[in-house]
Chains A and B, each alone.
Chain A
């Protein structure tokens, strides 16, 4: 449905130039939900704007639904208004001089050949019903709350049934509670319309919860892409591991490696763990063992093969608590049930599930 190949983009700045995109490739299948995830300045928004035609790439090609909309080598650049897209902005960009109906009707009213007025009315009301705003049709745009503006922006993006829906951080201007609610509504909406979606966000929980495919971007490149569980469970490097959820990092040295299992002696000499690893590492090589807080259990009594540490603090978070543990210079984080009666300074033993650990050469 959406195919992006070798996309590059360089901006001229006061001190030279800045390469925002260093070669982006990805495909989104028909009806897929593809998320570009990354921190500010990683190039995710620039990618989306290239797909929308709001920025012209310096290299590469983009095609939407089989139509080439940008191909730098062949000098092709289809302007935004001729691309079959719907776009929701971070600031919503609801036109202040129009009411809700006029905002949503706009894509139909500028369509050629003309759409009959009766059709426009019916389709706008359909779109408004889809987002639960049908009773606000005559409301001036300036009298809408943030959440309402957002719904109108969705209705406007979907009203002409585009092939591709582009969402540029659409939830980031909402407060936490509304954001969560809108996330579910949005997911349901997209599922119902079946529209192919490209989603840009810096919020990992949004990305993990909503997408079919997540692409983690960093410094103008896609570092890793795949299903959310795969990217979360098998990050390709520390950056991705750290960016998606919190990760505990233990230092160690390879003791033995055979049959896809690597034995690592953790620094401090306390214990060894056997970790599955893809790479072949030589004996004695320094490595990082990474595990997620939820992949370890915390005990107040000695446990075989567990790592002994000291409780630093317990952070009560309602349904669960985060337990922070001191291991020499390292602070580990684990998840515990809130009833666990540990206090700062207590001894504690952290048992890791080795098969869920990830190994990187340090």
Chain B
């Protein structure tokens, strides 16, 4: 019961820095390789993008002969244009609205699951997280099947019950529709982070308040919320970054309503109806949002540091007290149930049903699947999806772990810059990441453009996932463990292979799984970089639904759900036990 907490100052020892001399040749090559990879995956594309914003004229490639330095792009984009009068306000409303919806929902859910005596908590935890693995484009498509003004299931049903005429009454193709869909789609991710923050809080802080004579509500307002603040604000900023980079909801739900946000605007600059792609103008638009993202990132970084200082060590293994819900039990269950119905169950049901019924109400059949499996684009897309998700997850995990190690353990010039580069990727919107890789590889023609390989490179800008996870576990590994290997005669590679990597294995695995999921869900980057040779499943689904092949699109969605469902059960234990780190 009275377990002694080991409060030795781990960090000082773990952070002991070493000079490069001890690495040996092999070590130096590996370390330098990781640094070079980070620069190639993150820095180089961004620099190419920055340069593109200042290159013209717009009918030439940015670095084609004839192109020159210019401010024309910036003037074209920012002076008296729809960007300023409509895209900017739309983006602001969309981000603010959806983050609010996400946050209120996720906070309530996390609170109910982590801190109250809500029944069936473990099951509900899994159910709430389920949509986390489903690509946003699948969710968006499912919601249009439910809430489209003419044929949406819910609208048809409501019209029947209320005796109204078509269309309506709900119009998903509107700003409120867009906000609600995006808001609900981001709930699982934020729920996961908030839940972790609530789980790691020292219960004695609340008990001390209670023992001081404070009522539960007072304790909640004056102790729980303030103590949780850093753990709540950091996910809030991450959710804002996620909303800012959102592309699939604005494309599928916003576009029919003529609502353009920044991500769709960049996409349409790159894929205009009948003109040439306007690289310079797209880069100029990207510039503003990159700045916004970097500012948010700086705030986030600051908060994370504060949160670390805020953490108070739990002295004992007592689990936090759970608040008895009492007569709020039914309302709480109804709230969770409503979220699950709208956010997970109905979308899944409508997808499966539509894939078997062909969208009409005739007999169920397998036509959609037959057509899909016969489609020459389908099987290569399946292969591409897994290849790209798997290889990019492996690449990032390896490079990220090596980067984290050298940033923590080595002293070398440029270390601070590398730290920033490895961290920055959290804040780069994926539209911009895809676009930046495109510009870079249009400029250096090494034959990757238009292949699956460019997708792997583009996906791999998400270094931060791996560096942050590895960094957190490296901090826990005493540098002495590595020094003991050296003292036993182990060379650098031996130490890394036999000591560091095995100790890091759990976090490497977590990083790989997380990145695989991200890669599996990815839609924006393969859209921006798409060619006939590198379609992935999410893109195929979008193409099918854009071509009005609704049943086939639903079949793709159903297959994705089928693949994802067992994965969430495998992940559940890991998610439940792991402490929160983005």
Contacts and interface: CB of A to CB of B under 8 A. Distances in A.
A90 B315 contact: yes
A191 B536 CA distance: 75
A172 B6 CA distance: 12
Given A91-B204, A93-B207, A106 B1 contact: no
Given A91-B202, A96-B227, A40 B1 contact: yes
A172 B2 contact: yes
B210 A45 contact: no
B316 A96 contact: no
B110 to A, nearest CB: 20
A79 B219 CA distance: 13
B172 to A, nearest CB: 41
A106 B314 contact: no
Interface stretch (B118-126, B161-169, B305-313, B474-482): B305-313
A45 B2 contact: yes
Given A110-B213, A110-B218, A142-B310, A91 B5 contact: yes
Interface string A86-124: 110111111111100000001100110000000000000
Contact of A110 (B204, B222, B309): B222
Contacts of B4: 172
B85 interface: no
A109 to B, nearest CB: 8
Interface string B294-320: 000000000000000110111110000
Contacts of B315: 89-91, 169, 173
B214 interface: yes
A66 B567 CA distance: 58
A85 B208 CA distance: 11
A89 B208 contact: yes
A107 B210 contact: no
Contacts of A40: 1-3
A52 interface: yes
A80 interface: yes
B271 interface: no
Interface in A143-195: 153, 156-157, 160, 166, 169, 172-173
Contact of B211 (A44, A85, A90, A91): A85
Given A54-B321, A97-B226, A45 B213 contact: no
A87 B215 contact: no
A29 interface: no
Give the residue among B3, B5, B209, B229 with the most A Cβ atoms within 10 A: B209
A153 B227 CA distance: 17
Interface string B155-185: 0000000000000000000000000000000
A81 interface: yes
A40 B315 CA distance: 13
B1 A93 contact: no
Contacts of A107: 212-214
Contacts of A96: 227, 309-310, 312
Contacts of B77: none
A41 interface: yes
A172 B4 CA distance: 8
A46 interface: yes
B204 to A, nearest CB: 4
Nearest to A86: B211
A91 B226 contact: no
B210 A54 contact: yes
Contacts of B3: 40
B223 interface: yes
Nearest to B311: A96
Contact of B209 (A106, A160, A202): A106
Given A41-B1, A96-B227, A142-B309, A89 B213 contact: no
Contacts of A90: 2, 204, 315-316
A97 B227 contact: yes
A225 to B, nearest CB: 19
Contacts of B321: 54
Contacts of A87: 207-208, 211
A107 B210 CA distance: 9
B204 A93 contact: yes
B7 interface: yes
B207 A89 contact: yes
Contacts of A89: 204, 207-208, 315
- Chain A's interface size range is 35 or more
A83 B215 CA distance: 11
B578 to A, nearest CB: 20
A155 B227 CA distance: 21
B205 interface: yes
Interface in B197-256: 202, 204-205, 207-216, 218-219, 222-223, 226-227, 229
A202 B209 CA distance: 25
A91 B2 contact: no
Given A96-B312, A202-B2, A81 B213 contact: yes
User: Could you tell me the dominant secondary structure of chain A's interface residues?
Assistant: loop
A82 B316 CA distance: 24
Give the residue among B207, B216, B218 with the most A Cβ atoms within 10 A: B207
Contacts of A52: 207, 211
Given A91-B312, A91-B316, A106 B214 contact: yes
A94 B213 CA distance: 16
A106 B312 contact: no
Contacts of B5: 91, 173
Given A91-B312, A91-B314, A95-B227, A156 B212 contact: yes
A86 B213 CA distance: 9
B446 to A, nearest CB: 52
A169 B315 CA distance: 10
Contacts of A202: 2
Interface string A24-60: 0000000000000000111111100000111000000
Given A41-B1, A169-B2, A173-B7, A91 B313 contact: yes
Contacts of A142: 309-310
A157 B211 CA distance: 8
B207 A80 contact: yes
B2 A110 contact: no
B114 to A, nearest CB: 18
A198 B211 CA distance: 14
A90 B5 CA distance: 10
A82 to B, nearest CB: 8
A142 B219 CA distance: 20
A106 B218 CA distance: 11
Given A91-B314, A97-B227, A110 B205 contact: no
B568 to A, nearest CB: 23
B453 to A, nearest CB: 48
A44 B314 CA distance: 18
Nearest to B310: A96
Given A89-B207, A91-B312, A106 B202 contact: no
A94 to B, nearest CB: 8
Contacts of A86: 211
A275 B316 CA distance: 44
Interface in B435-486: none
A79 to B, nearest CB: 7
Contacts of B211: 52, 54, 80-81, 83, 85-87, 157, 166
A80 B210 contact: yes
A265 to B, nearest CB: 42
12 contacts: A53-B210, A54-B207, A54-B321, A79-B210, A81-B216, A87-B208, A95-B223, A96-B309, A106-B212, A110-B209, A110-B215, A111-B213
Top-4 shortest CB links A-B: A91-B315, A107-B212, A93-B204, A87-B211
Interface of B: 1-5, 7, 202, 204-205, 207-216, 218-219, 222-223, 226-227, 229, 309-310, 312-316, 321
Interface of A: 40-46, 52-54, 79-83, 85-87, 89-98, 106-107, 110-111, 142, 153, 156-157, 160, 166, 169, 172-173, 202
Given A41-B2, A79-B210, A107-B212, 5 more contacts: A81-B209, A91-B313, A91-B314, A97-B229, A169-B2
